[in-house]
């Protein structure tokens, strides 16, 4: 399984990447939504997106999720946040999207 991991906190990103690699996932890391968007728009294919909601740059995790969903309509997305209020009013697709509170 090929995972695109977008997380701006380097220590947390490294830990998550190590855990995913330990579960036999191939992990491609990005430190911002903007950097991850370049990967989504590129030639590489991903099976799942794991993204923080709040990241520096123009594109946050929700925007990245929409961009990923446009290209990979059936693939799952795992959103992460330490701020539950960020998801107020956001509807997740229960069959393909989940939320993890940090």
pLDDT tens readout for residues 34-65:
999 999 999 999 999 999 999 989 999 999 99
pLDDT band at 83 (very low <50, low <70, confident <90, very high): confident
pTM: 0.93
Predicted confidence band of residue 89 (pLDDT cuts 50, 70, 90): confident
Mean pLDDT for the chain overall? 93
* CB neighbour list of residue 76: distance below 8 Å, 6 or more residues apart: 48, 49, 96, 97, 98
Would you place residue 85 in the very low, low, confident or very high pLDDT band (cuts 50, 70, 90)? confident
Residue 77 · residue 13 · CB < 8 Å: no
């Amino acid at each position: 399984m090929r995972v695109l991991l977008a997380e701006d906190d380097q220590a947390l990103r490294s830990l998550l990447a190590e855990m995913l690699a330990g579960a036999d996932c191939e992990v491609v890391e990005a430190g911002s939504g903007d950097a991850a968007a370049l990967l989504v728009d590129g030639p590489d294919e991903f099976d799942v997106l794991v993204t923080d909601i709040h990241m520096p740059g123009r594109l946050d995790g929700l925007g990245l999720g929409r961009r990923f969903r446009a290209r990979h309509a059936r693939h799952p997305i795992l959103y992460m946040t330490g701020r539950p209020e960020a998801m107020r009013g956001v509807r997740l697709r229960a069959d393909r999207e989940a939320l993890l509170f940090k």
